Amino acid sequence: MTAPGTFVARYGIWIFGAVLLLIMPHVFTSSFALNLMSQMGVLIIFSLAYNMLLGQGGMLSFGHAIYFGLAGYFTIHYLNFVYDDIAPYIPVSLFPLLGGCVGLFFGTLVGYVSTRRAGTTFAMISLGFGEMVTALTLILVAIFNGEDGIQTDRVVGPEPLGISYGPNIEVYYLIAVWVLVAAAAMYALTKTPFGRMSNAVRDNPERTEFIGYNSQRIRWLAFALSSFFAGLAGSLHAINFEHVGFEQVSALTSGLVLFMAYIGGVGHFAGPVIGAVLITFLNGTLTTYTEAWQLYLGVLFVAVIMFFPGGLAGLIIMHQPIWRIDTRLLAPLTVPYLLFIGALLVSLIGFIGLVELLIYKTSRLGAAHDLTIFGITMDPSGVVPWISFAIVMAVGVYAIRKAFPVAAGAWNTAIDQARARAAQ
Amino acid sequence: MNAALQLKDVHKSFGKTEIIRGVDLEIREGERHAVIGPNGAGKSTLYNLISGRFPVSSGAIRLRDQDITNRSAFEINRAGLCRSFQVTNLFHRMSVLDNVRCGALFSLGHKYAFWKFVSRQKDVAERADDILERIGLSGKRDWPAGMLSYADQRALELGVTIAGGGDVILLDEPTAGMSHSEIAQAVALIRRISTGKTLMIVEHDMGVVFDLADRISVLVYGEVIATGTPEEIRNSAQVKEAYLGTEAT
Amino acid sequence: MESFIFALFNGVLYGMLLFMLASGLTLIFSMMGVLNFAHASFFMLGAYFAYSISTYVGFWPALIVAPLIVGVVGALVERYGLRPVHSYGHVAELLFTFGIAYVIEEIVKMIWGQVPVPYDIPESLNFTLFAWAGLDYSAYRVFMLLVSVGIFVALFALLTKTRIGLIIRAAVSDPTHVATLGHDVPTIFMWTFGFGCALAGVAGVLGGNVLGTEPAMALQLGPIVFVVIVVGGLGSLGGALIAALLIGIIQTMAIFYDFGINAALLAVGIEIDAAGMFRDFARITTAQASPVIPYLLLVLMLIFRPRGMFGTRDV
Amino acid sequence: MKFRGIAAFLLILVPFGFASVVAKAEDTVKIGLIEPFSGPIAAVGRDTLEGFEYYADYVNARGGVLGGRQIEIVPLDNAMNAEKTTQQLRKAIDDGIRFVSQGVGSNHALNIIKFLGKHNRRNPDESILFLNHSAVTTSFTNELCSFWHVRFDANVDMKVAALATQIGRDPSVSKLYMLNQNYAYGQAFQSAAQQFLGERAPNVELVGDELIVPFGKVLDFTPYIAKIKASGADTVLTGNWGPDLVRFVKAAAASGLQTPFYTIYGGLPSSIAGFGGKDGVAVGIKQITEMHENDANFNGTPEFEEMNNGWTEYSGKSMYSERLGWVVLMFAMAVDKAGTDDPAAVAAAFEGLTYEGPGGAVTIRAEDHQAHFPMVISTMSDQVERPFLYNNESFGVGWQTDAWVTADELTLPTTCDMKRP
């Protein structure tokens, strides 16, 4: 990291991100899109926080939503207390900090016991805590109000600078600012002694003990700091929706953030950002088109684990050595990659067609309607659509098997050329 | 002469099997001390007991005037004892530079700090540059450790070990698996890094042992059967019978 | 005293059902070191296959065929999914099985729909064998108990008394060594995984009609099965049995001998405001808390004795 | 550790265009139906959608509303996630939808009510009316009541009051055991039952009153069955649903417990499919509904018979929540009465609106927008004329009327202090 980066090289991506966050609501102006983007922001923070555990610290948690959700509950309660004049007023803009502290508190507490072990033991303990807290949120109705969750009105107290946080756009910008602050803070953390040692503990916990570090202490610290940012995100989530319910602490949310971080790529700082944006987008829009989006999401997750464990960010980063040397080396990759993507699309069309047919068959036994897939209307009771999609899928899979070695070969050639050029 | 490291009647059993059966050993301040012995004699176990990887069953271990018996590994390391591993034990996904920096961080007082950048710490940079220079990996500082050649990984292993600045150094078969030319380089390296410090080394290659060591201890079936200068060991009938006679390399 | 024995008996019945669920999981872990998150999903597949098959040919053929199909599905998942992931380490394997569990649930919904399927206890065993304290115990429940015991005995014998058991155990501790002896380790692993899944299938066939066969059943049962094998000690068959019985008995006792937290708090002089925010704490009784007890046990066990009651290694 | 991967950000955002598709301006009156069409209980959402579509077709085939405009049902998937409900609500607003309906999951309904409370105040020109078809939390028509909310189902208190009325009348009930889920709904059921049993069934002794951790966490109900036996109860009252009901009934049947179960949700297709008709009949499941197919009232009127037969033909399902029809039919009546599709006018038109259903008059009370109608308590039986049909498969069992509870008996006071715009 001694590369003499110019100002643009070092801060360019951050400025780009800030500008993007600034102009997005002017490009996509609908209330739905605005809400979706706000949610993306919240989940970017949450999945980056989660990746402090999984990607940076090597801890697989099945229960990180606890800190996200509990901070949300706290935020809503506090807002309501302010309404009822029980608690002193705090500007809404600073609530995320408060939520972060709640996350930090619970993270420190639970982390103390759960981080004494790493690996699968840690994963199991997180599962156990997750189940217990979810059960408690349902039972302790006075605090969590069960399935209904609790509600608030975020427009409270004086309005500094005329910002009331009534309009959604103001909340969007609040989230945008916090996304930048939290992402920068978490990025900075990776560069500190703690961040480095967190990586070291992930790679080889035993060795850290022999260079003077207590690996449990590092895991604990990582866990607590990650919970802080998870709490920060949870607080923003609560402000955004003015509601928090048991879903936010449940295994569902824990699983979702795991999906985001992993599909985006845990090996790279920006991976969870990509994952959060992509999954939130799919989550929000695919439901309009198909009932099977959860299956597609699951298949995508399994495919990432099996075929590209680096996630989407990993796919991009594996080309970094090439473009660093010479972007023109990427040109010969175009055709093989397009071939591969084409094959992938063909097999996907076949797969999606079959899935949609099957779903239609099981879910609408009674009424006989026509089915429209990819703009083609067909009679799902006949055998023709089934055979057609099966053939398309078979062709696609065959093409993938042919195209993959070509694409992989092209990448190998390019990287070899890049290395040869670098050695010169 | 003061003892840098002292073992008194150390025992270690795994289940019913006693691996270390009452070891008494004294490593003097500033000497290079080799431990030799046949396979399964308990050399690695002895290291693991000293460095805090396993607790002892009975007995006492002192590092200078501190009792380090059954203390945790990081406490022992902070007291000034550092060790390497027989099987390369690095942070394989991190860069060479970061491996060395990690080794240096604690001892330079940066500990668990999360409010300052590693790259801005002059002391860390100086220490890392110095060590990379000494282990000959300055040119590969940005390589991921996992991608280094075997010999380079062994060198980095040494680098991480000494980065913390501990002055009692335990090396576990540092030349295992190396070719002849690599061994010569490794010995020179070990000599360089251990100058002015106390070195304890487990080694199979007798050439290396007799080349480096000021004194040698022979460990057989969990017991030290002899300690002395290379000359004394070479001429000891007891050692010959128990060890050199059958397994000399 | 009789009521205590009665509660104990019910706890044992329930515990043996848990053991049947967990046996395949502990087998897979002890052989392969893989914590199979999707185990309950294979259990669910067993129940669904049994339902479909039994509508055509009846319960008894389904008891044989459904686990076989589940076993083959499991073996295929191992061969084409888990094996390639193996090289990324145990956490990746855990993640993979987590993903598979998710996908299986969606596939089950696609094929059998989201509404529970009417999978019933077979007529031939649906008669009352004996009654105790006013409760009828059907032949089917006793049959389930016998099968669980049979599974335990058979697995125990398989692992300790047979040649194949020796090879498998050797393969765990030293795969390369076993491979050099001419045994095909990947194939052994594949069939071990398949066999473990088939055991889950058996549990599914027998348990599906008692617990209800629906797509969410895997999600509901998954965590408790984990608790059983972790508390018992990963890889320990006897540990899984004891843990299953322990959890079964504790949960049953907690409901039988209902005991309120409020009473306990009052006993030590703490009174909780009946209208305050923490009033619900006071309302909790052991019966209500009984489904949470296993998780408490899990967390405590992992903190104080991570290898479980009878485990030989940490999780 | 470079941040360059963010360049992918842009690429990913490209398809965002989809999200802001502008609604086509068609001359239909749209009802956005926000239900789970994916996720764990999508089947319920889909059945609801089918019902809405059938009745919308029914109205449209008879000339639609406002002299020829068609009613269009727009499905909006919330995947059983309360936050997503809010999101879909925003989407509905973007698409110019002014009427939304929902009913599965009272937490979702609560979100809608709260959201509309703020939205309709902040944007009076884009007001939205919420037609609640099944969310039963009592407070929605009490302290949380809203001008923008109309409820077509009886609330928990009304249903429990109806059950308590019948339990008080039933001479075979003397000792009652109660088991509920330990969360907001189950606790509400419990306290309502404690109140109404005292008022309407004073001779019945409550010998057990338990709460369990909800949503499928309890696997073995045998200990509870043993407790019921030991308590000497002759009747069970439970608000449970889903696996918590299915396993409870299965365990009761397996242990030979033969005390009738008074339930609210025993008649859901997922419940019957779960415990199976045989166990249901063996235990003696009772349910409370607005109507069931084997009731004498149901088969008297040709109009209703035609409507119902058409439904079964259309969907392959028996009628089990007739009120889905009321929602659409009464909506059409209200729009025509108001003479406009302006939500405020339609909401006002709903007040006091009466629809003559097969079981009697359905009236929307003006004070709290709560529908009032007679309800019927029925017992599961395998000796019925019309067994329950789901997706063209018969469960082999159906319902037989025990007794009706009149609308007057169900009328409870409201604390609603409605603010009208």
Reported as a single tens digit per residue, the pLDDT across D108-130 is 999 999 999 989 988 888 899 99
Predicted confidence at residue A373, as pLDDT, reads: 73
Residues of chain D neighbouring A187 (CB-CB closer than 8 A): 3
In a domain, C164, yes or no: yes
Q: Which of A195, A202, A212 sits opposite B106 (nearest CB)?
A: A212
Domain count, chain C: 1
A141 lies within 8 A of chain C by CB: yes
Of C303 and A387, the one with more pLDDT? A387
pLDDT value of residue D26: 54
**CATH number, domain containing residue D349:** 3.40.50.2300
Question: Shortest CB distance from D274 goes to which of C116, C131, C224?
Answer: C116
Q: Does C245 reside within a domain?
A: no
Q: Token pair for residue A164?
A: 């009331």
D224 in a structural domain = yes
Q: Do A135 and D213 touch (CB under 8 A)?
A: yes
Total number of domains in chain D? 2
Assigned domain for C16 exists: yes
Greatest CA span in chain D, whole angstroms?
77
Residue A252 touches partner C, C-beta closer than 8 Å: no
Which amino acid belongs to residue C32?
M
Give me A52's structure tokens. Answer: 């402090």
Mean pLDDT of A32-40: 93
Residue D112, domain member (yes or no):
yes
Q: Tell me the CB-side half-sphere exposure of residue A92, using CA atoms within 13 A.
A: 30
Mean per-residue pLDDT, D376-405: 92
Residue C84 amino acid letter: P
The residue assigned the tokens 């105040």 is: D121
Q: A205: distance to nearest CA of chain B, Å? A: 9
Residue C7 lies in a domain: yes
Of D5, D182, D314, the CB nearest to A317: D5
Domain boundaries, chain A: 7-297, 320-423
C313, HSE (Cβ side, Cα atoms, 13 Å)? 9
* Chain D residues touching residue A270 (CB < 8 angstroms): 3-6, 8
Q: Counting beta carbons within 10 angstroms of the beta carbon of residue B248, is it exposed (0 to 12), middle (13 to 18) or buried (19 or more)?
A: exposed
pLDDT at residue D214 in the model: 85
Q: Are C39 and C195 in contact (CB under 8 A)?
A: no
A294 touches chain C (CB under 8 A): yes
Mutate to test the interface with B, among A211, A213, A220 (most CBs of B within 10 A): A211
Between A19 and C1, residue with greater pLDDT: A19
> So what's the pLDDT on residue D270?
87
Q: Between D357 and D338, whose confidence is greater?
A: D338
Structural domain contains residue D54: yes
Asked if D388 reaches chain A (Cβ–Cβ under 8 Å), the answer is: no
pLDDT at position B113 over 60: yes
Contact list, A301 vs chain C (CB under 8 Å): 99, 102
Alpha-carbon torsion, ordered B34, B38, B41, B43, to 10 deg: 30
Measured CA to CA, the distance from residue C99 to residue A296 in angstroms comes to: 11
Given an 8 Å threshold on Cβ–Cβ distance, is D229 in contact with C134? Answer: yes
| Binary contact (A214, B91; C-beta < 8 A) | no
| Mean of pLDDT values over A324-340 | 88
pLDDT above 80 for C91: yes
pLDDT bucket at A320, cuts 50 / 70 / 90 = confident
Taking alpha carbons only, the member of B177, B181, B124, B129 closest to residue B153 is B177
Query: Whole-angstrom Cα distance, residue A145 to residue A138?
Result: 7
Residue D18's pLDDT is 37
Contacts of D among chains (3+ CB pairs under 8 A)? A, C
Continuous H helices in B168-236: 180-193, 206-212, 230-235
Question: pLDDT tier at C173 (50, 70, 90 boundaries)?
Answer: low
Burial degree of D303 (CB within 10 A; 0-12, 13-18, 19+): exposed
Q: What is the pLDDT of residues C139-172, one digit of tens each?
A: 998 999 999 999 999 998 888 888 877 777 676 6
Are the Cβ atoms of A196 and B112 closer than 8 angstroms? Answer: no
Is the pLDDT at C80 greater than 90, yes or no?
yes
Percentage of residues in chain C with pLDDT exceeding 90? 41
Which of residues C182 and C236 earns the better pLDDT score? C236
A387 — phi, psi (to 5°)?
-65, -40
What confidence score (pLDDT) does residue A370 get? 66
Choice between D377 and A160, residue whose per-residue pLDDT is larger? D377
Specify the DSSP class assigned to residue D238. E
Residues of A in contact with C99 (CB under 8 A): 298, 301-302, 305
Q: State the pLDDT at residue B249.
A: 41
- List the single residue in C with minimal CA-CA distance to A128: C295
Question: What are residue D237's phi and psi, to 5 degrees?
Answer: -125, 125
Which of D219, D248, D391 has the most C C-beta neighbours within 10 Å, making it the best mutation to test the interface with C?
D219
Task: Provide mean pLDDT across the span A405-422.
Answer: 88
% of chain D beyond a pLDDT of 90: 63
A120 closest CB neighbour out of C90, C99, C279: C90
Number of inter-chain CB pairs under 8 A, A vs B: 97
Nearest chain B Cα to A195, which residue?
B114
The beta-carbon neighbor of A302 closest among C100, C303, C315 is C100
Note the pLDDT tens digit of each residue in B69-86.
999 999 999 999 999 998
- List the domain range (segments joined by +) for residue D241: 157-289+375-408
Whether residue A193 contacts residue A182, with contact meaning beta carbons closer than 8 Å, is answered with: no
How open is the CA angle D126-D130-D133, to the nearest 5 degrees?
160
Confidence of residue D14 (pLDDT cuts 50, 70, 90): very low
Contacts of A236 in chain D (CB under 8 A): none
* Average pLDDT over every residue of D24-35: 82
Q: Which residues contact A388 (CB under 8 A, 6 or more apart)?
A: A353
pLDDT value at C83 more than 80: yes
Angle at A212 between CA A208 and CA A214, to 5 degrees: 65
Nearest Cα to D52, choosing from D311, D351, D376, D228?
A: D311
Q: Is the pLDDT of residue D296 over 60?
A: yes
Q: Which of C126-135, C265-274, D186-195, D299-308 has the lowest mean pLDDT?
A: C265-274
**HSE of A188, CA atoms in CB hemisphere, 13 A:** 15
The per-residue pLDDT for range D259-289, each reduced to its tens digit, is 999 999 999 988 998 998 899 999 999 999 9
Whether D83 has its CB under 8 Å from any CB of chain A: the answer is: yes
Q: What average pLDDT does the segment D195-215 reach?
A: 93
Q: 3-state DSSP call for residue D416?
A: coil
The answer to whether residue C95 is domain-embedded is yes
Strands D371-372 and B3-14: unpaired
* Domains of chain B by residue range: 90-165
Those residues whose C-beta lies under 8 Å from the C-beta of residue B104, and which sit 6 or more positions away, are B124, B127, B128, B131, B163, B164, B165
Phi, psi of D364 (to 5 degrees): -90, 115
Residue C283 has pLDDT above 80, yes or no: no
A neighbour chains, 3+ CB pairs within 8 Å: B, C, D
Same domain, D246 and D189: yes
Residue C167 is part of which domain span? 2-221
| D166–chain C nearest CA distance, Å | 28
Sequence length of chain D is 421
Residues D380 and D398 in one domain: yes
Backbone φ and ψ for B34, nearest 5 degrees, come out as -100, 145
Closest residue on chain D to A55 (Cα): D1
DSSP letter assigned to residue A244: E
* Cα atoms found within 13 Å of the Cα of residue C40, Cβ hemisphere only: 25
Statement: residue D195 has pLDDT above 80: yes
Nearest CA to CA, how far is D5 from chain A (Å)? 6
Let me know if residue C59 belongs to a domain. Answer: yes
**Percent of chain C predicted with pLDDT > 70:** 93
In a domain, D131, yes or no: yes
Is any Cβ of chain C less than 8 angstroms from the Cβ of A298? yes
D52 CA to centre of own chain: 13
How far apart are alpha carbons C135 and A216 in whole angstroms?
Answer: 52
Q: Note the pLDDT of residue D201.
A: 95
The one-character DSSP state at D6 is G
What distance in Å separates the CA atoms of residue B157 and residue B91, rounded to the nearest whole number? 10
Q: What is the pLDDT of residue C183?
A: 73
Same domain for D281 and D345: no
Q: Kindly list the residues from chain D whose CB atom is less than 8 angstroms away from the CB atom of residue A317.
A: 2, 5
Give the Cβ contact number of residue A146 at 10 Å: 27
Rounded CA gap, B76 and B82, in Å?
Answer: 8
Are A206 and B107 inside 8 Å of each other by CB?
no
Report pLDDT for D103: 92
Mean pLDDT of chain D: 88
Residues D260 and D391 in one domain: yes
pLDDT band of residue A118 (cuts 50, 70, 90) is confident
What the block records as the tokens of A396 is: 């696609």
pLDDT at residue A53 in the model: 95
Judged against a pLDDT cut of 50, whether residue D66 lies above it is answered with yes
> Is residue C299 domain-resident?
no
Question: What value does the mean pLDDT take over residues A271-291?
Answer: 89
User: What's the 3-state SS for A125-173?
Assistant: HHHHHHHHHHHHHHHCHHHHCHHHCEECCCCCCCCHHHCCCCCHHHHHH
Query: Nearest CA to CA, how far is A295 from chain C (Å)?
Result: 5
In whole angstroms, give the CA distance from residue B149 to residue C206: 56
Per-residue pLDDT averaged across D335-360, rounded? 94
Nearest CA in chain C to A297: C103
Residue C298 located in a structural domain = no
Q: Is the pLDDT of residue A367 over 90?
A: no
DSSP string covering A76-135, please?
HHHHHHHHTTSS----GGGHHHHHHHHHHHHHHHHHHHHTTS-HHHHHHHHHHHHHHHHH
CB-CB contact of A70 with A231 (8 Å) = yes
What gap in Å lies between CA A243 and CA D115, rounded to an integer? 10
Q: Does pLDDT of D318 surpass 80?
A: yes
Q: Which CATH number fits the domain A7-297, given the four candidates 3.30.479, 2.40.50, 1.10.3470, 1.10.15? A: 1.10.3470
DSSP letter (8 states) at residue A319: T
- Distance in angstroms (rounded) separating the CA atoms of residues A172 and A167: 9
Higher pLDDT, A11 or D340: D340
The pLDDT value recorded for residue C180 is 66
User: What is the Cα A423 distance to its own chain's centre?
Assistant: 38
Residue C264 has a pLDDT of 74
Region D201-222 average pLDDT: 91
Q: Categorize the per-residue pLDDT at D379 as very low, low, confident or very high, splitting at 50, 70 and 90.
A: very high
ipTM of predicted complex: 0.86
Query: Of the candidates B141, B53, B59, B61, which has an alpha carbon nearest to the alpha carbon of residue B101?
Result: B141
DSSP C21-50: HHHHHHHHHHHH----TTHHHHHHHHHHHH
Contact A292 D90 (CB under 8 A): no
Asked if pLDDT for residue A151 goes beyond 50, the answer is yes
Q: Residue D83's closest chain A neighbor by CA?
A: A241
| DSSP states along D81-137 | -HHHHHHHHHHHHHTT--EEEE-S-HHHHHHHHHHHHHHHHH-GGG--EEEESS---
Residue D46 has, within 13 A of its CA and on its CB side, a CA count of 26
* C-alpha–C-alpha distance, residues A242 and B239, integer Å: 80
Q: In this structure, is residue D417 part of a structural domain? A: no
A142 interface with C at CB cutoff 8 Å: yes
Alpha-carbon distances of C41 from A205, C3, C97, D271, D275, rounded to whole Å: 33, 36, 10, 22, 21
For A214, nearest residue in chain B (alpha carbons)? B74
Within 8 A of C78 by CB-CB distance, chain A residues are: none
Contacts of A217 in chain B (CB under 8 A): 112
CA torsion sign for D201, D207, D211, D212 is: negative
Domain presence at residue D19 = no
The whole-number pLDDT of residue A400 equals 93
Contact (CB<8Å) D5/A293: no
Gyration radius from chain B CA atoms: 18
Range with lowest mean pLDDT among A4-8, C294-298, D158-162: A4-8
For residue C236, the model assigns a pLDDT of 83
- Cβ–Cβ below 8 Å for B112 and A209: no
Chains sharing 3 or more CB pairs under 8 A with chain B: A
Q: Note whether residue D3 is domain-resident.
A: no
Say whether D41 and C114 touch across the interface (CB within 8 A): yes
Vertex A260, ends A257 and A266: CA angle to 5°?
105
Spatial strand order in the sheet of B17-28? B17-28, B3-14, B58-63, B66-67
- Please check whether residue D132 lies inside any domain of the structure: yes
- Specify the pTM: 0.89
> Would you say residue D17 has pLDDT above 50?
no
Question: Do chain C and B touch: 3 or more Cβ pairs under 8 angstroms?
Answer: no
**Closest Cα of chain A to D168: distance in Å?**
30
